[in-house]
Chain A
Amino acid sequence: MFSSRSGFWPALPALILLLVFFLFPVVRMLGFSVEAGTLDWYAKALGEGLYLRVLWNTFEIALLVTLFCLLLGYPLGFLMATTTPFWATMGFIFVLLPLWTSVLVRTYAWMVLLGRNGVFNRMLMEAGITSDPIPLLHNFTGVLIGMVHVLLPYMVLPIYGAVRKVDPAIPAAAAGLGASNWRIFWRVWMPLTLNGVFAGCVLVFVLSLGFYITPALLGGGRVIMIAVLIEQQVREALNWPFAAALSAVLLAATFAVYTLAQRFTQPETAR
């Protein structure tokens, strides 16, 4: 008992910080949404097809982005954690580089690469692979590529950490006991790095939900995410109660998804 109580004090500054910079604004925001003493703004957010559809779209995009980040990020994080220090450093530089450039710059770079007359299409056409440019930009594909690029580091780093934490003797033991690489991966690596995978997925998913610059620029305007609508309510319509209600709905939905995901990825216990 004593030790748990004394363990509380060092965490106090962090708790106060969270309280002031996270909890207080959230409560304030929730306050805005019921300012008028009614739940009318919630009724509008949940009742009008537009907002539910955009919310659904947003989750769909976030889910896909998370999936692609996982598919790319797991092998990358795994390789970085198991290769020589030189290649690990190179990997880190390339993975972290996007974090040091602004989202806008990265997005414009993709526009240069993916456009009708962009680098990719010119290469494909010169190589004779296609005669007409492939639409990579100003559609869903463009949004996916751009967002996956921006968010990949958030997937790679926790997975890298999780892989590094596994005692290399454990997969070796599995191999010695007759497991093929495929089975070592699914029976040993996957469950032992699930924490990292979960952390990476949650990070990428939640960050995806708040995106709007990248989808607006790379999606040709067709891909609408909830953050765009919230921003419109804050900056254009000046309807803060409604913006708050939309944010609250997004927050609640995010928590729901998080809880669900946690339930599913609970590390397997005694069988």
Chain B
Amino acid sequence: MDTRKLNRRQAVALLGGAAALGAAGPAFGQAEPAKPAQLVVNHSGGSMGTAMRKAFFNGFEKKYGIKVVETSPVDFGKLRAMVDSGNVEWDLTEIGGQDAIRAGKANLLDKVDPKVVDRSKYPATAQNPFVFASSVYTTIIGYRTDVFKGGTQPKSWADWWDVKKFPGARSMRNHPTDNLEFALIADGVPKDKLYPIDFDRAFKKLDQIKPHVTVWWSTGQQPAQLLLDKEVVLATGWNGRFYDIIKKGAPVEIEWNEGALKQGSFAIPRGAKSPYWANKMLAELAIPQQQAVYASELGYPGLNLESLNFVDAKVKPYLPTNYLDKQFWISDEWYAENGTKAAELWNAWMLKKA
């Protein structure tokens, strides 16, 4: 009995070893850098961390025997300070869209290694040499189904602005990104002609909606909570946060039309201790099956569009990649150049009485 058990275990170990050898196959020709004891991945934490561990980190640890150490939060200032001082703690970090563009230009990042990370299945918007697009999220309309019954919800930004036809308290993000675009679309600008943003036109349109916005939210969980508490009946928010409460049975639904798409990004800080293994981790993040696991948890699918084939049919309607055509992409490039100006104008507009 005992000997047989031992034998079986040995057999499993052998098989695992063979699989690892096979996985390392393509890089076999070059000398592979030594394995570090650990790989530090910095991300936003919370439920995202849990999902990443389930979808990616556990598999990575098993495959390579490298411990994945997670830190949070995401902090661009800290990234800059680390790279400037040459004391880079992170091997890989999540990074905001426009920050990623600027970080790439400011020489704060290492390029993604195309020999390790296969991005051939990714859309053209997700091919930045410094930035790996790990997932897609969108700012869309969440609404109370007990207030807007049977498809009577606002279905466009023009509807959102129509407070007579769609009455009720609203919540929007306390940030120029998304809102400037929404205002322009509501004012009749086509989705592909948004950039460069016409500030005057956007803010003039925003003036109209300002009195009807009860809460300008500043953290991601606020809009979902506000809908749950019925503080507001309409809220813009990130799809995953709405998905989370819908999963739990909240009387809330999502209107996907004219949503503002953004990509969640990861990048390798310049001077990271194990850049090769950070690339290996990115390769892990690119596996469609694993992306499907992640998407089912949070509602944030990966940009390997094949991943849609691996999700449950019940989950699919809650993934923004299912509605790419109805939505538009936020231009990280434009914000990288104009974000500061937009923020200043936004603050000034917020302070304006009435």
List A residues at the B interface (Cβ < 8 Å).
48-50, 53-54, 57, 111-112, 115-118, 137-138, 216-217, 220-222, 224, 229, 232, 234-240
- Kindly identify which residue among B99, B225, B229, B344 contacts A50, using a CB–CB cutoff of 8 Å: B344
- Kindly identify which residue among B229, B348, B350 contacts A118, using a CB–CB cutoff of 8 Å: B229
Chain B residues 297 to 354 lying within 8 A of chain A, measured CB to CB, are 339-340, 343-344, 347-348, 350-351
Is B62's beta carbon under 8 Å from chain A? no
Docked complex Cα distance between A216 and B76 (Å)? 20
Known contacts A50-B348, A115-B229, A115-B231, A221 near B218 by CB under 8 Å: yes
Q: How far is the CB of B229 from chain A (nearest CB, A)?
A: 5
- Kindly identify which residue among B76, B222, B350, B351 contacts A217, using a CB–CB cutoff of 8 Å: B222
Known contacts A118-B229, A221-B350, A138 near B214 by CB under 8 Å: yes
Q: How far is the CB of B349 from chain A (nearest CB, A)?
A: 10
Whether A50 contacts B351 by the Cβ 8 Å rule is yes
* Chain B count of residues within 8 A CB distance of the other chain: 28
Residues in B whose Cβ lies below 8 Å from that of A232: 343, 347
- Kindly identify which residue among A48, A57, A115, A237 contacts B339, using a CB–CB cutoff of 8 Å: A237
Residues in B whose Cβ lies below 8 Å from that of A224: 347, 350-351
- Kindly identify which residue among A57, A216, A222, A237 contacts B340, using a CB–CB cutoff of 8 Å: A237
Residues in A whose Cβ lies below 8 Å from that of B106: 238
Whether A117 contacts B229 by the Cβ 8 Å rule is yes
Number of A-B contacts (CB under 8 A): 69
Docked complex Cα distance between A15 and B133 (Å)? 49
Minimum CB distance partner of A221 in chain B: B216
Docked complex Cα distance between A229 and B76 (Å)? 16
Is B60's beta carbon under 8 Å from chain A? no
Minimum CB distance partner of B341 in chain A: A237
Is B174's beta carbon under 8 Å from chain A? yes
Docked complex Cα distance between A236 and B106 (Å)? 14
Minimum CB distance partner of A233 in chain B: B340
- Kindly identify which residue among A48, A117, A238 contacts B77, using a CB–CB cutoff of 8 Å: A238
Minimum CB distance partner of A220 in chain B: B215
Docked complex Cα distance between A138 and B344 (Å)? 22
List 17 interface pairs A-B (beta carbons < 8 Å), by A numbering.
A50-B347, A54-B347, A115-B229, A137-B231, A217-B218, A217-B222, A220-B214, A220-B215, A222-B216, A222-B350, A229-B347, A234-B77, A236-B343, A238-B76, A238-B77, A238-B102, A238-B106
Is B75's beta carbon under 8 Å from chain A? yes
Residues in A whose Cβ lies below 8 Å from that of B350: 221-222, 224
- Kindly identify which residue among A117, A137, A220, A240 contacts B230, using a CB–CB cutoff of 8 Å: A117
Docked complex Cα distance between A235 and B78 (Å)? 8
Residues in B whose Cβ lies below 8 Å from that of A221: 174, 215-218, 350
Minimum CB distance partner of B351 in chain A: A53
Is B219's beta carbon under 8 Å from chain A? yes
Q: How far is the CB of A231 from chain B (nearest CB, A)?
A: 9
Docked complex Cα distance between A117 and B230 (Å)? 7
Is B80's beta carbon under 8 Å from chain A? yes
For the complex of A and B, list the 8 residue pairs with the smallest distance between their C-beta atoms, beginning with the closest.
A221-B216, A221-B174, A220-B215, A237-B340, A216-B218, A50-B348, A138-B215, A234-B77
Residues in B whose Cβ lies below 8 Å from that of A53: 351
Whether A236 contacts B344 by the Cβ 8 Å rule is no
